[in-house]
Amino acid sequence: MGKGFFLSKPLGVGCMILGTGAVATIIALSVVYSQEKAKNDNQVLPTDGGTTTKPPATTAAPSNEPWDKYRLPKSLLPQQYNVTLWPRLRPDPTGLYIFTGETTVEFKCVEDTDLILIHSNKLNYTDSASLTSVDSGVKAPSIKSSFLQSETQYLVLQLDGKLVKDHMYQLYTKFTGELADDLGGFYRSEYYEDGVKKVVATTQMQPTDARKAFPCFDEPAMKAVFHITLIHDIGTVALSNGEQKETSSVLIESQNVQKTAFGPTEKMSTYLLAFIVSDFAQINNTMDDVLIRIFARKPAIDAGQGQYALNKTGPILKFFEGYYSSKYPLPKSDQIALPDFNAGAMENWGLITYRETALLYDESFSSNSNKERIVTIIAHELAHMWFGNLVTLRWWNDLWLNEGFASYVEYLGADNAEPDWNIKDLIVLNDVHRVFAVDALASSHPLSSKEEDIQRPAQISELFDAISYSKGASVLRMLSDFLTEGVFTQGLTSYLNTFAFGNAVYTDLWEHLQMAVDNNTGTQLPDSVNNIMNTWVLQMGFPVVTIDTQTGGISQKHFLLDPDSTVTEKLEFNYEWIVPIKWMKTGVIHPTIQWLKAKSDTVNEMKTSEPSDWVLANLNVLGYYRVNYDQGNWDRLLIALRDNHISIPGINRAQLVDDAFNLARAKIIPTVLALETTKYLTEERDYVPWKSALNNLDFFYLMFDRSEVYGPMQNYLMKQIIPLFTYYKNMTGNWSTIPAGHMDQYNQVNAISMACRTGLEECSTLTKTWFKQWMDTNKNQIHPNLRSTVYCNAIAAGGAKEWEFAWSEFQKATIASEAEKLRSALSCSKQPWLLNRYLEYTLNSTLIRKQDATSTIVYIASNVAGQSLAWDFVRARWTYIFNEYGGGSFSFSNLINGVTKRFSTEYELQQLKQFKADNSEVGFGSGTLALDQSIERTISNIKWITENKQNVLNWFKAELKLYEASS
Ligand SMILES: *[C@@H]1O[C@H](CO)[C@@H](O)[C@H](O)[C@H]1NC(C)=O
Ligand SMILES: *[C@@H]1O[C@H](CO)[C@@H](O)[C@H](O)[C@H]1NC(C)=O
Ligand SMILES: *[C@@H]1O[C@H](CO)[C@@H](O)[C@H](O)[C@H]1NC(C)=O
Ligand SMILES: *[C@@H]1O[C@H](CO)[C@@H](O)[C@H](O)[C@H]1NC(C)=O
Ligand SMILES: [Zn+2]
């Protein structure tokens, strides 16, 4: 799935609500095998039919029957499916939206068995299942009994004889499901067009919801060919993975409908299937012989909002064909923007689904950041067409390789599509630094999990986190760099060719990379790819490398944000890594990689002899580790920053700030040394270092915005930001234009939002004036890049009038990216009653879409005025939120992290522990780990404040005195 998925991930809440002690719930299912099959195959029975067989004995103790295991037995292998589905876009007389379907699956028996287990979740079977043999001369046994095992999500069929090894059988079923608005499986999305409600039927199968659309062997290694047919109203468009083959008008249940049959898919995994019925419009072009289409709501297509995506898709596909040395494996590439979609995007093979904000671009509404998100998400999803779809990891425990890979190469694809943007630099901010924060906790986890530890759908969902995406991307980038890109892609191509249309495990990739290394005598590694990578993949965390420039001594140590926290994981590699170190001395890059293979080593070249010499390691932060130095070298680096910051690469200036702040939090260096790295910012104009500094200062805001440190801190930061603010004011002719460069556009936003945040009068006047002009004239002339920050500041400064205006604009917005900016800005108010009312809105899906509920609450919690309101709200509503929003639409981990990130007092810690105790019955779903991490983080925040508050206050005051004295 697309990046940002871990920001709002769904979960299989069903199994968690049932809890451990629950008696296995067995829903009886109609099966009367003697009963005749319905005479007309097109006739779908609307309600339960037939009688009910008695389920097998249910016992309170968990039994060890095959259907109580979450993994399929290895006895049957699906070959092909015929699936016909008919989603109803209007409710039935009882108000329920449903779909009906029938399917035949042909499977091969590879081990004699008298049992068929096939995944099925929330489907009602309306007719008897029937089993037939494909091979003449072999008779299929008949179905003795059948039932649904809801805990493990199976349709269980017990046979009166054996299926015989090496023979093929077909299983036919007919079923009904709810087309719910739960964002999982086959679901419905709703929107209004000219005041008319429209319904789209669409799917999100990954990871385990294909079984909610039709009975299937729902594991990634159970690849098969799918013949899909959709029945839909005349005038609507049906889409699926394959090409539309035939469309015919048919009369079913006295309704004139259309039947669209799609060509057979390639051999593929169930989680990559997609079925969509809508009345969307499209635009198209071709890349070589591949048909490329962008689908969206008709007004969005008419407004040209799909054009940017269409322009970029062909070139990105072409880029990946070159990168992988492998032709795009399908005849078409459809991409569709959906009004309701939980993840950022989903890489269904040949029919990629997106949130509207991730695909639709409109020059007059979209910021450069919206545009960048579109091009990177498209690149991410297209990268999966090969890595993930053509070759699929065997089981979900290797998800990190699939998502980490796409999250790395999305930068390469996007860079190719927008070569002037320097997008590749941003991986350091967006992935490396971001995941360092999580991976430095004792409660982190290794990239790789054992296959047997990942069983339940909730465990699978929990893997879609920052570690899988961002750490995966970071270590693969490191690997590609030390192998060199040529060797990396050579190994990759050979891996893809070997496992095409099949499955692999992560060590298969290492093997093929090793072969490429062995074929290229130029690549010197200190150990095998497998042994090097195991140190990064099998143990959690990362090292801090310490370089002593007096002795040339280098050493490594597991970096823990809280040095007092204890690590309970097994010490398989003893928290030592095989570390590639690229480095420079006083601006001169050292020609070879220095490998650190042990706890410590001596590198004589890293000794400094001249008093002005400095050493800087981890060039461009290509390695997944932090760096610390002896105090003398830190001092010389600070002087280099002050006197000639350009002598240090931009990414490394960002690194110095980020490493220093984090080393300080881990008590490895003093906090004031970290603050010293911000002094040179009066000279800094580049985006990446500024953003790094602001990210780190955010922690200071969280810790101090309710204390006496706040005033002096604000004054110091205002002094630091004014030169940048003035720089952009001059560059843009007093804010009348927008800078040309992509990074400059970003940094202009930093300049304004930070200047306003620190209370610079000129800035708040500016934002208030712009917003007022909009309110007065009803014409929005604020540049899309600046809207988020302008809206937020104006709403914070304003009252109900500004809020109501923004709310009505939010409801009127015709493009999702504009709605998004307003939704976020509405959380900036300082009025508790407005914030409380807004919190209530999040649980009303007609006001705030379900997909946006979590992030809205988190936005409100980020506002110092909304923090405690959001926390009270979540605590008071936990059971309700968990039950109502659990099914696929709510990211509990994000919610818990978001509402507790400011926690730094004993009182808050007690509340958090109480919350954990009070709701242990209800549970925390995918937020379980996040809750423990929040407790750990709160404890460490409390300690940090105790130890640092006075020093930090003194430092800010001293800096201000110096400044006042000099000016
Ligand atoms: C499945 O669909 C294909 C293509 O429409 C057809 O040729 C085949 O006979 C169908 N198989 C079954 C078992 O219905
Ligand atoms: C499935 O059956 C259950 C129990 O009879 C019923 O509550 C539910 O509405 C049915 N779902 C559909 C889509 O028919
Ligand atoms: C491509 O778009 C054109 C213009 O809208 C349309 O006429 C044509 O049918 C489309 N082609 C395909 C293959 O969808
Ligand atoms: C798409 O490409 C066309 C042709 O190159 C260009 O005129 C148009 O401005 C592009 N549109 C967008 C939104 O990038
Ligand atoms: Zn992905």
DSSP 591-619: SSPEEE-SSEEE-GGG---STT--EEESG
Q: Which amino acid is at 59?
A: T
pLDDT per position as a tens digit, 235-262 = 999 999 999 999 999 999 899 999 999 9
β-sheet bridge partners, residue 117:
156
Mutate to test the pocket of ligand 4, among 287, 294, 307 (most ligand atoms within 8 A of CB): 307
* Over residues 335-345, mean pLDDT: 89
* Over residues 883-905, mean pLDDT: 80
Domains and CATH numbers, the chain: 67-278 (2.60.40.1730), 280-389 (1.10.390.10), 393-538 (1.10.390.10), 542-644 (2.60.40.1910), 715-829 (no CATH)
Mutate to test the pocket of ligand 3, among 282, 295, 310 (most ligand atoms within 8 A of CB): 282
Q: How far apart are CA 580 and CA 523, in angstroms?
A: 13
pLDDT per position as a tens digit, 625-678 = 999 999 999 999 999 999 999 999 999 999 999 999 999 999 999 999 999 999
Q: Which residue has the higher pLDDT, 887 or 657?
A: 657
Q: How far apart are CA 772 and CA 756, in angstroms?
A: 16
Give the pLDDT of residue 927: 80
CA 431 and chain centroid, separation: 11
pLDDT category of residue 570 using cuts at 50, 70 and 90: low
* Over residues 922-949, mean pLDDT: 88
Span from the CA of 285 to the centroid of ligand 4 (angstroms): 13
3-state secondary structure 268-312: ECHHHCCEEEECCEEEEEEECCEEEEEEECHHHHHCCCCHHHHHH
pLDDT per position as a tens digit, 357-374 = 999 999 999 999 999 999
pLDDT category of residue 62 using cuts at 50, 70 and 90: low
Tokens of 224: 């098969």
Give the pLDDT of residue 569: 62
* Over residues 159-178, mean pLDDT: 97
Is pLDDT of 428 > 80? yes
* Over residues 205-230, mean pLDDT: 97
Is 884 labelled a binding residue?
A: no
Is 380 labelled a binding residue?
A: yes
pLDDT category of residue 3 using cuts at 50, 70 and 90: low
Is pLDDT of 478 > 70? yes
Mean pLDDT of the chain: 91
Span from the CA of 346 to the centroid of ligand 5 (angstroms): 7
124 lines ligand 2 (CB under 6 A): yes
Span from the CA of 836 to the centroid of ligand 5 (angstroms): 35
pTM equals: 0.91
pLDDT category of residue 53 using cuts at 50, 70 and 90: very low
* Over residues 88-102, mean pLDDT: 96
pLDDT per position as a tens digit, 813-829 = 988 889 999 999 999 99
Query: Which run of H or of E encompasses 838?
Result: helix 832-841
pLDDT per position as a tens digit, 117-166 = 999 999 999 888 999 999 888 899 999 999 999 999 999 999 999 999 99
pLDDT per position as a tens digit, 516-562 = 999 998 888 999 999 999 999 999 999 999 999 999 999 999 999 88
Q: Which atom of ligand 1 lies closest to the CA of 170? A: 13
* Over residues 211-228, mean pLDDT: 98
CB 785 within 8 A of CB 738: yes
282 lines ligand 4 (CB under 6 A): no
291 lines ligand 3 (CB under 6 A): yes
Is pLDDT of 917 > 80? yes
Give the pLDDT of residue 887: 53
Q: Which residue has the higher pLDDT, 446 or 17?
A: 446
Give the pLDDT of residue 928: 81
**405-409, 687-691, 791-795, 938-942: lowest mean pLDDT where?**
938-942
Query: Which run of H or of E encompasses 113?
Result: strand 113-119
Q: How far apart are CA 945 and CA 923, in angstroms?
A: 31
Annotation says 676 is catalytic: no
Q: Which amino acid is at 566?
A: T
Handedness of CA 751, 864, 911, 887 (dihedral sign): negative
Q: What Cα–Cα distance (Å) separates residue 834 from each residue in 410, 828, 845, 899?
A: 39, 10, 18, 18
Give the pLDDT of residue 886: 63
Instruction: Give nearest CA residue, ligand 1 atom 10.
Output: 82
Q: Which atom of ligand 3 lies closest to the CA of 284? A: 1
Give the pLDDT of residue 20: 28
Ligand nearest to the CA of 313: 4
Cα dihedral 116, 120, 123, 126 in deg (nearest 10):
-10
Is pLDDT of 587 > 80? yes
Span from the CA of 617 to the centroid of ligand 3 (angstroms): 54
CA 314 and chain centroid, separation: 24
Which one from 381, 818, 908, 959 is the annotated catalytic residue? Answer: 381
Give the pLDDT of residue 2: 72
176 lines ligand 2 (CB under 6 A): yes
Span from the CA of 213 to the centroid of ligand 2 (angstroms): 14
Q: How far apart are CA 920 and CA 930, in angstroms?
A: 14
Name which of 736, 565, 762, 575 is nearest 665 in CA terms: 565
Is pLDDT of 48 > 50? no
Ligand nearest to the CA of 283: 3
Is pLDDT of 58 > 70? no
- Return the SS3 of 8: coil
Give the pLDDT of residue 87: 98
Q: Which of 134-138, 179-183, 417-421, 875-879 has the highest mean pLDDT?
A: 417-421
284 lines ligand 3 (CB under 6 A): yes
Q: How far apart are CA 579 and CA 571, in angstroms?
A: 18
CB 331 within 8 A of CB 293: no
Instruction: Give nearest CA residue, ligand 3 atom 1.
Output: 284
CB 626 within 8 A of CB 544: yes
CB 840 within 8 A of CB 810: no
pLDDT category of residue 930 using cuts at 50, 70 and 90: confident
Q: Which atom of ligand 3 lies closest to the CA of 283? A: 2
Show Cβ contacts of residue 769 under 8 Å, excluding neighbours closer than 6 positions. Answer: none
CA 121 and chain centroid, separation: 25
Handedness of CA 387, 391, 396, 400 (dihedral sign): negative
pLDDT per position as a tens digit, 65-80 = 999 999 999 999 999 9
98 lines ligand 2 (CB under 6 A): yes
Q: Which atom of ligand 2 lies closest to the CA of 99? A: 13
Ligand nearest to the CA of 82: 1
Span from the CA of 304 to the centroid of ligand 4 (angstroms): 10
Q: Which residue has the tokens 């014409």?
A: 779
Q: Which atom of ligand 4 lies closest to the CA of 361? A: 13
Q: Which residue has the higher pLDDT, 355 or 22?
A: 355
Handedness of CA 890, 893, 896, 897 (dihedral sign): negative
Is pLDDT of 755 > 90? yes
Instruction: Give nearest CA residue, ligand 4 atom 13.
Output: 308
Burial of 426-446, coded b for 16+ CB within 10 Å and e otherwise, reads: bbbbbbbbbbbbbbbbbbbbb
Is pLDDT of 299 > 60? yes
177 lines ligand 2 (CB under 6 A): yes
Bond into 66 cis (ω within 30): no
Instruction: Give nearest CA residue, ligand 3 atom 10.
Output: 284
Q: What Cα–Cα distance (Å) separates residue 839 from each residue in 179, 342, 856, 860, 884?
A: 28, 20, 8, 8, 16
Is 384 labelled a binding residue?
A: yes
pLDDT category of residue 481 using cuts at 50, 70 and 90: very high
Q: How far apart are CA 45 and CA 39, in angstroms?
A: 11
Span from the CA of 1 to the centroid of ligand 5 (angstroms): 3
44 lines ligand 2 (CB under 6 A): no
pLDDT over 90 for what percent of the chain?
81
